Structure 1
Amino acid sequence: MTIRLQLLTEDPTEIELIQRYWAMDESGQFLEKVSALSEVLQLPQGVTLAAFIRQRCTAFDEKQICPQCEEQVEIRNRSQAWRSALRSTSLCTLCQQERAALAREAEKKKAAELEAVLAEYRHNQVCRVVDYSAVADAHVLLLLALDKAVMPRLTDAWFTLADCRGLAPRYFDNFVETLKSAGLLLQDPSKAKPGTYYWNGDDVWQISAQVAYLFMPGCAGVDANEVIRSLSARVYTDREGVFNLWLDYAVADVMCYLGDQCKWYGHELGEQEWDEIKSTLRAALHTYSVSQLWFVAWKVVKDAASLASHQYYNRVKAAATIPGKIRRYLERVKRESIELRSWSRPEQQPGGTLGMLFDEVFGIDEDTSGVAATLRIARVTGQESADGVDTELCAPIRELMVDALAQDAGASVMLRFAELIRAGYDVGCAVEEIGVSLQREHVDDHSLQSPNAGQQS
């Protein structure tokens, strides 16, 4: 017999049943079937024969040896018995209990270490204060927008990422991370759900959706609500920083619409493709408005959906063409001076509190072109002529007008200028485009009038 029994009963009938249950022949086959043995005794309702025997006997398989202590391994039923002797990969019951106890002890130790790390982290954050008068304009706008999105929790309580969804149509978590990286929001581990922070090797990781954020305190004795009121009176001067924040928000607004359109038509894009589209749209937003790029997104996604029905295409291949289609269509719009249509804001896509703030402070919304947004931000920040743009344009404009009058083309030049501005060109690009065309026409006219035209020199 290869099964060693440790009996826990003195009842002869039960002992006989146990021995018959575990009895094996020389080849390792059990001598009697479980179905036949189940009729030997009247078992309590709901109790299996294996469970009944396990309560009255501990069985050890002599063919299974614990790799740690080299004792025989306990088995709980017939299916765990081996027919041939092999070294077990499983520990015996005692070794399993010892290992589990060590694991529990190590887990308690790591949990205590984690608590200490988090307590020190919170203490270091709480001890800091922020001089909000020195905070960048873009961060001030983000804080004010966040206050509107989570009011009144920004100054009175803690909040999570889920509470910040009203900040922007998409990428609201990136905006929150910007404020955190700038030291304007702190994380309070004591307010977070259990399990939010955990060890990954020697590093502490977190579940971002469960992190509890707090507004970083200002100077000692200054109430948080007073800080927000003082920020609301901020006089903005950083044109470049504010415009870059506008681009971040505008990209989020366009990408939200594009994502909804892709979902509607069943297009799935990879992370690299999304990043490529974001770069293209960000560049385009220097010129065009959000609502114009909504139209571009609608047109391109719709074209890709039509392409998916072609014989040699499928949805995956068609979706992969979207980044290139957006880029090529915008290139064509600029090359051919096409006037882009504007789409109205979808009802299911509110602008977010950051968009509301841009409209309130700078008069910028989804219908404002990138060129106009630049000028309005420059006006509010008092930087309209700070970079010498007007001075730089004086000479090209003067040269263009002289050439136009010399060729009696003043009216056509002004009409062409108006067309380019409507198409989204900024003033500098429009002047350059018309100047090149005017020079080309002048050269062509001169060639026709020359007596040597067409002759080889």
Structure 2
Amino acid sequence: MIELDIYSNTPDEISIVERYWAMNSDGKFKESVKDLLPFYHITSTTQLSAFIRSISQAWDMNQICKQCGRYQEVASRSEIKASRQEMHQPCAACQRVIDEELREAEAKIGADLQRRLATASELASSRKIAYIDLPDDIALILIALERAINPRLFTSTFMRSDCRALVPCYVGDFIKKLYKSVAIIDNPSEAVAGTYFVKDNQLWHKSDQVVYSLTPNSTLVANEDAFNTLVLRPFDNNKAILNLWLDYATTDCMRYLLDQCEMHGLYTTAEDDEEIQSIFRTALRTYSVAHMWSAIWKIVKDAASLSTRTYYNREKAAATIPGKISRFLEKVQVGQVTLKRWNRPESQPSGTLGQVFKEIFGIDEETEGTTVMSIFADTELPYSVDSKLSIGELAEPTRQLMTCALARGMEAQVMLLFADMVRNGTDTASAINSVFKAFPVFKKPES
């Protein structure tokens, strides 16, 4: 049965509505919609149904809403149920209430988000840092980032996707380091809608959509001029630099692994990748990246061969890679197999961070892990000059310093740093000590 409300006083219109919804005792409509035509200027069933909806409302008494107990509003004959039943969804009236409550809740969430974003933007715009006080690892990443996105670091904003030239892979991990250290700030007003959201009463963001910029320098010196001092500063926090190198070198290994796996149609899981990174990070304390590439090539090739066997598939074969790497390195350690050196692939540049490590510390993919560990060991300075020495007595340490610089093509960097320190009031002996400290690759000559 149908319950009707008719909002017209015209007899013909009242009649057409009643005829449209009229049903017999069997629950079937008495007349076909086509038989009701023409009516006024209406000649199609679609137009007639629309006209009837405009002057009336109908409720199906066989459909009862569980929430309010009222009948379901229907707009056409096709929505009518032949037998009495309880509805699984809210009725139209209840749904309108739900939708309105949802709109109000979303409006409140949106207003709260905008308030939080305004506060975050204000906080970000007020932040300043002294570049000279940045930790060594953060300073090195910044130097490399400037090269990767030049000139945007000083002139514009950037996103994580713009920084792919920084490292071979996992760029986001290094951008996160800069963000957490406040070396860079985010700009909520420039991000696309949906970048920021509130979760657990905290403001969160989607990292790949965040728009970043360099945090302004806190001194009166221009950002670019202050930034240039980073290149000349001493880098003496060996622990931080070593950890950064291991982070970087691990990405160099992972990029090669991922490329080799893709070449053979193998894809490791996120959990496996974490395990593999831990293995590489430990191995790189002993071996070079070039050594690890040769191991990766063999292991992935073996896994690819395994995937072709009848009782294996690519997924199972890829899952064996972490274990294969560990077992292979164990054999290397006991002398059962020998690691070869692989040249850097043409398709895998070292990234600007790799270039910075090469220029400042003289290390790259061919440097043995044991050598890296010795360079960044927590030991005394490679050369120590007594501040009480006379000019004549300074000749030997000065000669050793320049010999090291010339041997590595770093004489310009050494002289600029030395001159900058003397200009700022550092005595000659202390300046020489600081230069040795800034360039750990300059080894103290054996007597």
Taking structure 2 as the reference length, what is the TM-score of the superposition? Answer: 0.77
Equivalent residues of 1:141, 1:354 under 8 A apart: yes
CA distance in 1, matches of 2:232, 2:45: 75
After the TM superposition, which residues 32-71 of structure 1 pair with which residues of structure 2 at under 5 Å, given as runs? 32=31, 36-37=34-35, 47=46, 50-66=49-65, 70-71=69-70
CA RMSD of aligned residues (A): 2.9
Partners of 1:358 and 1:364 within 8 A in 2: yes
Q: Aligned residue for 2:330?
A: 331
1:277 aligned residue = 276
Q: Which runs of 5+ in 1 are unaligned?
A: 387-457
Q: Which residue pairs with 2:345 in the alignment?
A: 346
Task: Give, in whole Å, the separation in 2 of the partners of 1:39 and 1:308.
Answer: 70
Match of 2:209 in 1: 210
Which structure 2 residues correspond to residues 287-326 of structure 1 after superposition, within 5 A? 287-326=286-325
Aligned to 1:409: none
Cα displacement (A) at 1:167: 0.9
Q: Is the CA contact (8 Å cut-off) linking 1:378 and 1:384 kept in structure 2?
A: no
Question: Deviations along 1:399-437, whole A, 9 cap, x unmatched?
Answer: xxxxxxxxxxxxxxxxxxxxxxxxxxxxxxxxxxxxxxx
Partner of residue 169, structure 1: 168
Aligned to 1:139: 138
SS at match of 2:349: coil
Kindly tell me: are residues 98 and 373 of structure 1, through their superposed partners in 2, closer, same or farther at Cα, counting changes over 3 Å?
same
Q: Which amino acid aligns with 1:166?
A: A
The alpha-carbon distance between structure 1 residues 19 and 233, as it changes in their structure 2 partners (threshold 3 A), is: same
Secondary structure class of the residue paired with 2:62: strand
Structure 1 residues 51 and 296, CA gap change in structure 2 (3 angstroms): farther
Do the aligned residues in 2 keep the contact of 1:8 with 1:58 (CA within 8 Å)?
no
Deviates more, 1:208-217 or 1:42-51: 42-51
1:78 maps to amino acid: R
CA distance in 2, matches of 1:202, 1:27: 57
Moved more, 326-335 or 124-133: 124-133
The range that moved more, 166-175 or 16-25, is 16-25
Q: Deviations over 1:328-377 (max 9, x none)?
A: 11111221264322222222222111111111111222222212333445
**Within 2, Cα distance between the matches of 1:342 and 1:31?**
89
Mark the CA change 1:384 to 1:43 in structure 2 (over 3 Å): closer, same or farther. Answer: farther
SS in 2 for 1:198: strand
Q: Deviations over 1:79-104 (max 9, x none)?
A: 32233334445445454444433333
Matches of 1:303 and 1:8, distance apart in 2: 82
Task: Tell me how far apart the structure 2 counterparts of residues 100 and 345 of structure 1 sit (CA, whole Å).
Answer: 59
8 Å CA contact retained: 1:132, 1:227 = yes
Aligned residues of 1:192 and 1:210 also touching (Cα < 8 A): yes
Worse-superposed segment, 341-350 or 38-47:
38-47
Residue by residue over 1:274-319, the C-alpha shift from the partner in whole angstroms, topping out at 9 and shown as x without a partner, is 1111111111111211122111111111101111122322222211
Q: Which residue in the other structure is 2:223 paired with?
A: 224
Distance in 2 between the 1:227 and 1:140 partners? 12
Using a 3 Å threshold, how does the CA distance of structure 1 residues 43 and 150 change in structure 2: closer, same or farther?
farther
Helix, strand or coil: the match of 2:276?
helix
Letter in 1 for 2:237: D
Supply the AA of the counterpart residue of 1:143: L
Identity of aligned residues (%): 39
The whole-number CA distance in structure 1 between the counterparts of 2:304 and 2:9 is 75
Partner Cα separation in structure 1 for residue 145 and residue 63 of structure 2? 64
Output the CA distance in 1 between the equivalents of 2:274 and 2:9: 71
Give yes or no for the alignment of 1:4 onto 2:4: yes
Distance in 1 separating the partners of 2:184 and 2:42? 65
Q: Does 1:108 align with 2:107?
A: yes
Label 1:83 to 1:317 Cα distance change in 2 as closer, same or farther (>3 A).
Answer: same
For each residue in 1:119-147, what CA deviation from the matched residue of structure 2 results, as whole angstroms up to 9, or x when unmatched?
Answer: 22232333333233332111110111111
TM-aligned CA distance change 1:9 to 1:67, over 3 Å: farther
May I ask how many residue pairs the two structures share in their alignment? Answer: 383
Give the 3 Å change call, closer, same or farther, for CA 164–92 of structure 1 in structure 2: same
Q: 1:229 to 1:45 in 2, by over 3 A?
A: farther
State the alpha-carbon separation in 2 of the partners of residues 340 and 178 from structure 1: 33
What's the counterpart of residue 191 of structure 1? 190
CA distance in structure 2 between the partners assigned to 1:15 and 1:242 by the alignment: 86
Amino acid at match of 1:274: D
1:252 aligns with 2:251: yes
* Rounded Cα–Cα distance in structure 1 between residues aligned with 2:45 and 2:177: 60
One-letter amino acid of the structure 2 residue matched with residue 340 of structure 1: L
Aligned to 1:237: 236
Counterpart residue type for residue 4 of structure 2: R
